[in-house]
Amino acid sequence: MDATDLARWQFAITTVYHFLFVPITIGMSLIVAVFHTAWVRTHNPQWMRLAKFFGKLFLINFALGLVTGIVQEFQFGMNWSDYSRFVGDIFGAPLAVEALLAFFLESTFLGLWIFGWGRLPEKLHAGTMWLVHIGTVLSAYFILAANSFMQHPVGYTYNAASGRAELTDFFAVLTNKVQLVTFPHVIFAAYMAGAGVVMGVSLWLMRREAKRAVDDAQDVARTDAPMYRTATRIGAVMTLVAAIGVTITGDVQGKIMTEVQPMKMAAAEALYESVPAGEGAPFSVLTVGSLDGSHANAIIEVPGLLSFLATGNFQGAVRGINDLKAEYAKTYGASGNPRVADVATAFVPNIPTTYWTFRLMIGLGIVTALIAIAVLWMTRKGRTPTARWLTYAAVAAPLLPVLANSFGWIFTEVGRQPWLVFGLMTTANGVSPSVSMGEVITSMVVFTLLYGALAVVEIKLFLHYVRKGAEPFEEPQDPADRDEDAPLVFAY
């Protein structure tokens, strides 16, 4: 293990940790905006209570996402300076726009939403959360544009004199074909994660309130159980709608991925030998690879499904790892590009990791959708069930879609390896040449310990407010009756 391996581990740890919060932030900002708007339109107290309750959980998650996200950009200069020097002119542009436009949009209006209760007119106040949500979506767009360049570089020219790739068409970067399919897929996945949190938390609270009422011989309708049942069903419906969106966009994304990164699709199936048109490449549910990593033995497979995922045709041709490896060796290994590492890397990603993260991403998403269907069935026609298994479903509902998001990104990044920027620079050539193993180990240990402590704080705060449930209803003060000189106060 050298400094490059350690730098990759550090970036992987901090990125996966940060991305645990991102999809929840995007998804929950939409749901909180919906609840707040429902309050403005109906003045039904349950909507305000739900908006404030899930707003608290959203803010806890947002704060951790903000803190951990700052670290990400520093790493480009610290551990990946050669990468930053080579493509910083391109990669930095969408990130700069994200910070100056999208992040300030969401941060500014989130502050207005926090302190705006009883100070801003109702409709304007609700609108601030919609602007927060728009800001989170725009942040995702610009960040994904930067990442999509790494998957499929466009809109640049190589300056031989400076040895750098330089931006020539910012619009081309923003409309990269990989970006146009990745963005909706990620957003739908984020909605699925946010809805999963709302479904799981509300389901647990609904069961608790209903069980207490039954144990105390009280009328369940007079408790908060019906309110949480409403939120549970909203979360379940949004989970299913998002799951459909994820499926459709993922199908399109798979075909674009096959077009621009055929090795990633071959690695996702551990397909070593090409399958010609007319035969149909199968999709394996379970595969055992050989000890030398030269071939795989499928145990359970679905005929023709990989061809459909890759080409849209159950009989379509799919290129295998061995043929692509030989082609890449000729195309890139002999190109004379100094930023392409020794051809001994074979231009093949880690097959087991790519193979299993692809299936975990899909499998966990399917299980989440099945939980949503089961929850809708159990809560139909006004029912507030108290079955014990609902507790396990409540715990699984937030965790599974978040993990599916994480496995999806691990697949995306590991499947691109050994490329840092596909076709232009390998990962081994992007690391900072002056950073030692000791320095990387030190920063990695510090960040890991810090993030571990933050995780404890996040979980304790989150569970504390979940157990408290929604606060009793209090009619917001009319802004006209408020003292303009009264200090801004915000406390939970």
Residues 424-452: tens digit of each pLDDT: 888 888 888 887 888 888 888 888 888 88
Q: Which has more confidence, 119 or 260?
A: 260
3-state secondary structure labels for all residues of 219-280: CHHHCCHHHHHHHHHHHHHHHHHHHHHHHHHHHHHHHHHHHHCHHHHHHHHCCCCCECCCCC
Which helix (H) or strand (E) covers residue 457, if one does? helix 437-468
| Residues contacting residue 433 through CB under 8 Å, at least 6 positions apart | 81, 82
Mean pLDDT over residues 140-167, rounded?
A: 88
Instruction: Burial-class residue 336 by CB neighbours within 10 Å (0-12, 13-18, 19+).
Output: exposed
Residue 278 has pLDDT above 60, yes or no: yes
Position 145 confidence tier, pLDDT thresholds 50, 70, 90: very high
Residue 66 has pLDDT above 70, yes or no: yes
Residue 318: DSSP 8-state: B
Residue 183 has pLDDT above 90, yes or no: yes
Vertex 183: Cα angle to 179 and 186 (nearest 5): 135
Distances (CA, A) of 333 to 259, 294, 330, 416, 422: 20, 20, 6, 16, 13
> For the ranges 16-25, 270-279, 285-294, which has the lowest average pLDDT?
285-294
From the list 246, 240, 245, 205, the residue with the least C-alpha distance to 372 is 240
d(CA 249, CA 251): 5
From the list 439, 445, 448, the residue with the least C-alpha distance to 3 is 439
d(CA 287, CA 301): 9
Residue 489 has pLDDT above 60, yes or no: no
Position 24 confidence tier, pLDDT thresholds 50, 70, 90: very high
pLDDT tens sequence across 200-250: 999 999 988 888 777 777 777 778 888 999 999 999 999 999 999 999 999
Residue 384 has pLDDT above 90, yes or no: no
Q: Identify the sign of the CA torsion 267, 21, 150, 307.
A: positive
> Is residue 466 within 8 Å of 201, Cβ to Cβ?
yes
User: What is the model's pLDDT at position 411?
Assistant: 93
d(CA 458, CA 20): 12
User: What is the model's pLDDT at position 486?
Assistant: 62
Q: Which has more confidence, 369 or 478?
A: 369
d(CA 208, CA 391): 9
User: What is the model's pLDDT at position 225?
Assistant: 84
d(CA 190, CA 196): 10
Q: Between the ranges 91-95, 276-280, 365-369, 482-486, where is the mean pLDDT highest?
A: 365-369
Mean pLDDT over residues 303-322, rounded?
A: 87
d(CA 398, CA 239): 10
User: What is the model's pLDDT at position 98?
Assistant: 84
> For the ranges 3-17, 126-140, 400-414, which has the lowest average pLDDT?
3-17
Residue 194 has pLDDT above 90, yes or no: yes
Position 6 confidence tier, pLDDT thresholds 50, 70, 90: confident
d(CA 179, CA 162): 28
The token duo for 173 is 């970067």
User: What is the model's pLDDT at position 478?
Assistant: 65
| Residues contacting residue 237 through CB under 8 Å, at least 6 positions apart | 372, 376
User: What is the model's pLDDT at position 184?
Assistant: 95
Position 132 confidence tier, pLDDT thresholds 50, 70, 90: very high
pLDDT tens sequence across 401-418: 999 999 999 999 999 888
pTM of the complete model = 0.90
User: What is the model's pLDDT at position 7?
Assistant: 84
Q: Among residues of the chain, what percentage have pLDDT more than 90?
A: 38
Q: Which has more confidence, 336 or 41?
A: 41
DSSP string, 153-177: --SEEEETTTTEEEES-HHHHHT-H
> Is residue 13 within 8 Å of 447, Cβ to Cβ?
yes
> For the ranges 80-94, 213-227, 256-270, which has the lowest average pLDDT?
213-227
- Displacement of CA 348 from its chain's centroid (Å): 25
> Is residue 138 within 8 Å of 105, Cβ to Cβ?
yes
Position 19 confidence tier, pLDDT thresholds 50, 70, 90: confident
User: What is the model's pLDDT at position 305?
Assistant: 87
d(CA 232, CA 212): 18
Position 488 confidence tier, pLDDT thresholds 50, 70, 90: low
**If you average pLDDT over every residue of the chain, what do you get?**
86
Residue 343 has pLDDT above 60, yes or no: no
DSSP string, 396-427: HHHHHHHHHHHHHHHHHHHHHTTEEETTTEEG
Mean pLDDT over residues 135-144, rounded?
A: 92
User: What is the model's pLDDT at position 335?
Assistant: 63
Q: Among residues of the chain, what percentage have pLDDT more than 70?
A: 92
Distances (CA, A) of 490 to 35, 105, 130, 481: 20, 20, 20, 19
User: What is the model's pLDDT at position 492?
Assistant: 46
| Secondary structure E strands in 275-392 | 283-289, 296-302
d(CA 19, CA 483): 41
Q: Which has more confidence, 172 or 385?
A: 172
From the list 423, 415, 420, 149, the residue with the least C-alpha distance to 265 is 415
Distances (CA, A) of 412 to 19, 148, 282, 350: 13, 10, 21, 12
> For the ranges 177-186, 282-291, 351-360, which has the lowest average pLDDT?
282-291
In the chain, helix, strand, coil percent, each to 5?
70, 5, 25
Q: Identify the sign of the CA torsion 330, 335, 338, 340.
A: negative
Instruction: Burial-class residue 479 by CB neighbours within 10 Å (0-12, 13-18, 19+).
Output: middle
User: What is the model's pLDDT at position 196?
Assistant: 95
User: What is the model's pLDDT at position 381?
Assistant: 87
User: What is the model's pLDDT at position 291?
Assistant: 47
The token duo for 353 is 């990791």
Residue 80: DSSP 8-state: -
Vertex 301: Cα angle to 295 and 303 (nearest 5): 105
User: What is the model's pLDDT at position 214?
Assistant: 74
